[in-house]
Structure 1
Amino acid sequence: MGRGKKPATYADIEALPEGWVGELLEDELLASPRPAVGHAHCAFVLGFALGGPFSLGRGGPGGWWFLPEPELHLGRDVLVPDLAGWRRERMPQPPSPREPFVPLAPDWVCEVLSPSTARVDRHRKLPVYFREGVSHAWLIDPLARTLEVFRGDAGGWARTETHAGDALVRAEPFEAVELGLGALWLVP
């Protein structure tokens, strides 16, 4: 944040035009328009692919809650990952449907990278997720057609896997089910 500039507040998020996503990082307002079609498709398909086996227990172990684009209140930071998941042992019940945000850090986050957000997602949001105890993070680039898998350890994030193209993968923490990356990409 620049010198002499007042810290951004939640009121700044509420003042954004309709359709914009606002986040607060280190007292700075970050605003971005709704994502492009390839980004939205990727997040939707991934949520669908993980939701059946891990949230509903259909063809998988269950034990998770997933939310698309949840508003997370993590200390003074307000973040909106593309997808987030909580192990039911940490969050036995989902938040009330009336709750506008989630104050409990997820166990897993996924950021779908866009050219305009990739740097913030990678260099500013990942450290906050680590600070708050998120154990796994995925960065997906639908243009480069890649999935990077990270696990939090004592020293920070460790990239454990990188997958590309149409690979069939078992990526932690969801290695119980095979995921076909090809379904995530819109091919023109």
Structure 2
Amino acid sequence: MADPATRDATYEDLLQVEDHLVAELIHGQLVTTPRPAPRHARASSLLGVELGGPYDKGHGGPGGWWILDEPEVHLGSHVLVPELAGWRRERMPGLPETAWFELAPDWVCEVLSESTARVDRVEKLPVYAAHGVGHVWLVDPVLRTLEAYANHEGHWLLLNAFENDDPVAIAPFDAVTIPLGGLWAD
């Protein structure tokens, strides 16, 4: 049983966290992690570039998405900050006026690091599933892997795993092939 003297963290607690940390609220707890290391940030940034052209801008692909870096996503009492998230424009025709999103993304990408992998897998994935996020990709820039999952009745189903220089064309971004090797720092 929870200690009655403790209280759930609030959004005000989150706002007090220093800028050099990423702050999230997960199951009432304030969770902080360091800003991404260069290898981590590079993989995230380059994946955003690869997806942004064909899916967000419609250059060489179908368009119809908003692809955003580190959006603040409010899912019930949880406040999460994935590295990347995407919304189909048919579900979210315009961007909100707030600094956060209350509509669950259609796709989320978490870039794993030693300091975030447990939280991303154990804490955040169930929250994303419960709130209807359709797809999650987990990218590990050290292992040079990408795991793609689909939400099936509130549980994650592994669609496929890719490594090194594999070409990636998988839901929800299967109309264009992404060269996975371009994400890794040399």
TM-score w.r.t. structure 1 length? 0.95
The answer to whether structure 1 residue 54 and structure 2 residue 49 are counterparts is no
Where 1:177 maps in the other structure, the secondary structure is strand
Structure-2 change in CA distance of 1:9 and 1:86 (3 Å)? same
Bigger drift between 55-64 and 147-156 goes to 147-156
Where 1:93 maps in the other structure, the secondary structure is coil
Structure-2 change in CA distance of 1:38 and 1:104 (3 Å)? same
Equivalent residues in 2 for 1:105-120 (5 A)?
Answer: 105-120=104-119
Q: CA deviation at 1:101?
A: 0.6
Where 2:136 maps in the other structure, the secondary structure is strand
Partner of 2:179: 180
Q: CA deviation at 1:168?
A: 1.0
Q: CA deviation at 1:2?
A: 5.7
Measure the CA separation in 2 of the matches of 1:21 and 1:155. 26
Partner of 2:143: 144
Bigger drift between 105-114 and 9-18 goes to 9-18
Partner of 1:168: 167
Partner of 1:67: 68
Alpha-carbon displacement from aligned partner over 1:23-77 (angstroms, at most 9, x marks no partner): 0001000011111000100010000100000011000000100110000111000
Where 1:140 maps in the other structure, the secondary structure is strand
Where 2:175 maps in the other structure, the secondary structure is coil
Partner of 2:94: 93
Partner of 2:37: 36
- The count of residues paired between Structure 1 and Structure 2 equals 185
Partner of 1:20: 21
Q: Is the 8 A contact 2:40 2:111 kept in 1?
A: yes
**Structure 1 unaligned blocks of 5 or more:** none
Partner of 1:83: 84
Measure the CA separation in 2 of the matches of 1:41 and 1:30. 23
Amino acid corresponding to residue 123 of structure 1 in structure 2: V
- RMSD of Structure 2 on Structure 1 (CA): 1.2
Q: CA deviation at 1:138?
A: 0.2
Q: Percent identity?
A: 52
Amino acid corresponding to residue 186 of structure 1 in structure 2: A
Partner of 1:156: 155
Q: CA deviation at 1:123?
A: 1.0
Structure-2 change in CA distance of 1:8 and 1:175 (3 Å)? same
Where 1:41 maps in the other structure, the secondary structure is helix
- Name segments (4+ residues, structure 1) moved above 3 Å: none
Q: CA deviation at 1:155?
A: 5.2
Amino acid corresponding to residue 168 of structure 1 in structure 2: P
Where 1:152 maps in the other structure, the secondary structure is strand
Alpha-carbon displacement from aligned partner over 1:4-35 (angstroms, at most 9, x marks no partner): 32111111111111221110001000011111
TM-score w.r.t. structure 2 length? 0.96
